[in-house]
Amino acid sequence: MTILENAQKILEQINETKDNFQLALKSVKSKNDLESVRLMFLSKKGEIQRLFSVLGKLGPTDRPVVGAELNAFRAAAQSDFELVQQSLLTAEKIKDFDVTLPGRMPIVGSLHPLFQVLDEIKIIFTEMGFRVEQGPEIESDFYNFEALNIPEYHPSRDMQDTFYLPDGYVLRTHTSPVQIRTMENQKPPVRMIAPGKCFRKDTPDATHSPIFHQVEGLCVDKGVSFADLKGIVQAFAQKLFGQEMRVRFRPSFFPFTEPSAEYDFSCIFCKGNGCKVCKKTGWLEISGAGMVDPAVFGFVNYDPDVYSGYAFGMGVERIAMLKYGIHDIRIFYENDTRFLNQF
């Protein structure tokens, strides 16, 4: 036989082996079948290896051509084999799967209790005609203090309370700067609330956290009075806690309101009769409020002879603690699912 005839013959054998291999692979039904195919074609004593051993009979021109063909065949055969092996494994897993087992429920998260309360607060105020405004958490000294008539020597500017940042910026210590930003961009009438994060250098304890949430309220129009402020806060308290909720105002001081007040809700635990939580007073302190100081109007070019307004703040944690009977503020931030799952 000539060298050329030899090459022709091996190529034919390769093609024949390819067909046989594919046929054998197609009829594989079990691991044992698969192992027979491996032994017959892919093992050291298998068909493919045998074809390699006759390469030596070829001449130097044919050997590389046929060799390449054989190499390609071996690689393709190996990968086809692995595909079948993989699908056998998968089929086996499915066979072992017990369809009668109870399903596994995916864990569904829920809104954090603070944000559930915040949503309620937003709904109550938007129903009463307030718009929801937002401002930055990194605030300039101007908006956080200056424009709110908080002079340089005021104790709330104390390094001990405020997180100061470079270049005259602070982490806002309250949501009141949003009052200024809103009035700057809008002519009266204004009715807005501004919910958001606030920051103070407080050591965490049962009632303090360096990060907390406030909702600011502001209403400016012609003829707005302290009675309107009391009416709105009272209406809010009753919508959130029920008709029997009472509100009281006590004189206080804030640089950006005049007159200023602090307001309390009647204790929801003892219904105002006096208990441990309200320290026997029957009242729980909520936050500050008052009539917008004319000096503040000066910063936003509102005419204090034409317009008047009220502003109030409220601590969201405070309200959530009352609503859910929580006695330690820190639990809001611990992400303990045993706590969070209750909401």
CB of 112 to ligand PHE, least distance (A): 22
Question: How far apart are alpha carbons 190 and 311 in whole angstroms?
Answer: 11
> Does 147 engage in binding with ligand PHE (CB under 6 A)?
no
| One of 174, 181, 213, 318 touching ligand PHE (CB under 6 A) | 174
Q: Which residues contact 231 (CB under 8 A, 6 or more apart)?
A: none
> Does 254 engage in binding with ligand PHE (CB under 6 A)?
yes
CB of 312 to ligand PHE, least distance (A): 5
CB of 182 to ligand PHE, least distance (A): 13
Beta carbons of 322 and 241 less than 8 angstroms apart: yes
| One of 287, 293, 297, 308 touching ligand PHE (CB under 6 A) | 287
HSE (side-chain half, CA atoms, 13 Å) at 315:
22
Judged by phi (left if over 0) then psi (alpha if -120 to 50, else beta), residue 129 lies in left
> Does 162 engage in binding with ligand PHE (CB under 6 A)?
no
CB of 273 to ligand PHE, least distance (A): 28
Which of 58, 191 has the CB closer to ligand PHE?
191
> Does 311 engage in binding with ligand PHE (CB under 6 A)?
yes
CB of 326 to ligand PHE, least distance (A): 21
Which of 174, 318 has the CB closer to ligand PHE?
174
Which of 7, 318 has the CB closer to ligand PHE?
318
Nearest to 146 by CA among 219, 255, 292: 255
Q: How many residues bind ligand PHE (CB under 6 A)?
A: 11
Question: By CB under 6 A, which span of 25-33, 183-191, 278-286, 305-313 interacts with ligand PHE?
Answer: 305-313
> Does 289 engage in binding with ligand PHE (CB under 6 A)?
yes
> Does 17 engage in binding with ligand PHE (CB under 6 A)?
no
> Does 290 engage in binding with ligand PHE (CB under 6 A)?
yes
| One of 125, 297, 312, 332 touching ligand PHE (CB under 6 A) | 312
CB of 172 to ligand PHE, least distance (A): 10
Q: Hey, which residues between 106 and 145 contact ligand PHE (CB under 6 A)?
A: none
Which of 37, 219 has the CB closer to ligand PHE?
219
Which of 218, 267 has the CB closer to ligand PHE?
218
Convert residues 175-214 into a mask of x (bound to ligand PHE by CB under 6 A) and - (unbound): -x--------------------------------------
> Does 7 engage in binding with ligand PHE (CB under 6 A)?
no
Residue 100 corresponds to which amino acid?
T
Give contact residues for ligand PHE (rule: CB under 6 A).
174, 176, 254, 257, 287-290, 311-313
